[in-house]
Structure 1
Amino acid sequence: MLKRRLYLLGGNTSQREANVHFSRAAGGRNAKITLLLVYREGWENFLQHYTKHWLDQGVLERNISVIIPNEKGTLDANAAAQQLAAATGIFIGGGHSETYYTHYTKQPFKQLIKDKYAAGVPVAGNSAGALLMPDTVLLSPHDTDNQQAWSGPGLGLLHNQLNSVHFSQWQDENHLITGLQRNQVPYGYGIDEDACLYFENEQPTAVFGTEQVKRIEKGTL
């Protein structure tokens, strides 16, 4: 049976256990990993936080490609689609969540990512990337420019759930509970910065890292 793998990291990009598991699932020495980022000054210097554990597992540096808009926010969708088509692992990074949402929950990325995931290519997301995975994206007041909670359509790799990241650090339980009630979603997961919630075939299977993941049911108050 085809195994679909999904990794939701709560904020620390460099979690060893999650990144080792992901890179091995992507093919180890034969992996071709595509990393989706948003532009910020000096982003090249931050790449090592993503790639260190992949390289340690034998992934070749030349087989790690980066999709990133330029400083004006422009993205070559055709070139990006070619990178995704070749990928054996897809990782959506962290940063400004509203910008990630603007670029990567729209076409052609939404369908490309869904198709690769359905074909068994492991998909991971850290912080902003983790928030994009369900049918509905829930953004915390800590995570928006106007400090207001917000929700909108996501990638749709997970159904009937919401995600919250930096969960303990942002003390975001009330935000998640309110989001469940407002969006009429039955449950959600609060993922701490040093935790990763791992799914196989859309079922929560393991928690990696040194911190916790908390499941919250709608109507918890």
Structure 2
Amino acid sequence: MVATHLFMFGSSPPFNEQLALKFSQCINGGKIAVLYLDREGAEIYLPKYWKGINSSSSYCMALKEKYGRDELKTLKSCQGVIIGGGHTEAYRSFIVETELGSILKELYYEGIPIAGFSAGALICPEMCVISPNDNEEGSQLFQRGMGLVDDIVISAHYLEWNEEANLEKAIERTKASIGIGIAENAGIYLLNNKLTSAEGYIHIQYSA
């Protein structure tokens, strides 16, 4: 059975030092892909995603409705994938329940490590829980995620957005066994869907 590797961070890049080392070990110097929302200043910001990562090259892929055959071929050739942060609902729209999302799941179960920052982390579990602080409606949203890991809900910006009550509600609503709140400048590493490493402040809460 191929091992799976999932890295999730509570805010924007770069990787924490030890998690960068683990991700680098997973990709073994190979090419990485960075999936991001194209916006002003993105080209200057993008290098933060692979800061501290030992990779041969990076392939930056702006999210959109459809991709060319060569774009998807290049993505499939990468040894690691990083999903950026920003507007969670937009990331979900472009990735979950799309051809791109299906490819990412295939890569993940083939042993390709996937890392998500903030929005990129929130869409990884089976259930994507979006904070009231992170959407125009100002209410907690429960939407389908990629399903890379199940029975877990994630809260980003945990300390900074005072997400304790929202995480409790998410656990109760989804009936997940565990909720993980990840503060800014913090991250976690799941090996075979089990939390094995963390850097920075995280809060772990189990269902009642």
TM-score with structure 2 length normalisation? Answer: 0.93
1:44 aligned to 2:43?
yes
Q: Separation in 1 of the partners of 2:79 and 2:129?
A: 28
Report the equivalent of 2:201. Answer: 212
Q: Please tell me whether the aligned partners of residues 68 and 75 of structure 1 are also in contact (alpha carbons under 8 angstroms).
A: no
Q: Please tell me whether the aligned partners of residues 81 and 108 of structure 1 are also in contact (alpha carbons under 8 angstroms).
A: no
1:181 aligned to 2:180?
no
- How many residues are paired up? 207
Report the equivalent of 1:21. Answer: 22
Q: Please tell me whether the aligned partners of residues 177 and 217 of structure 1 are also in contact (alpha carbons under 8 angstroms).
A: no
Shift in Å, 1:84 = 2.1
Report the equivalent of 1:84. Answer: 75
Q: Separation in 2 of the partners of 1:26 and 1:102?
A: 27
Q: Please tell me whether the aligned partners of residues 65 and 94 of structure 2 are also in contact (alpha carbons under 8 angstroms).
A: no
Report the equivalent of 1:65. Answer: 59
Question: For structure 1, which runs of at least 5 residues remain unmatched after alignment?
Answer: none
Q: Separation in 2 of the partners of 1:66 and 1:106?
A: 21
Bigger mean CA offset, 31-40 vs 79-88: 79-88
Q: Please tell me whether the aligned partners of residues 7 and 198 of structure 1 are also in contact (alpha carbons under 8 angstroms).
A: yes
Matches within 5 A, 1:43-192: 43-54=42-53, 57=54, 59-60=55-56, 63-69=57-63, 74-76=65-67, 78-192=69-183
RMSD of the alignment, in Å?
A: 1.6
In structure 2, give the amino acid aligned to 1:97.
T
- Match of 1:44, SS state, is helix
Identity %: 28
Shift in Å, 1:130 = 0.6
Deviations 1:45-66 (A, max 9, x none): 1012112212xx3x23xx2101
Shift in Å, 1:79 = 4.2
Deviations 1:3-57 (A, max 9, x none): 21110111131134222321231122xx110111112111101012112212xx3
- Match of 1:102, SS state, is helix
Report the equivalent of 1:34. Answer: 33
| Closer, same or farther: CA 48–187 of 1 in aligned 2, 3 Å | same
TM-score with structure 1 length normalisation? Answer: 0.87
- Match of 2:37, SS state, is coil
Among 193, 200, 203, the residue aligned to 1:202 = 193
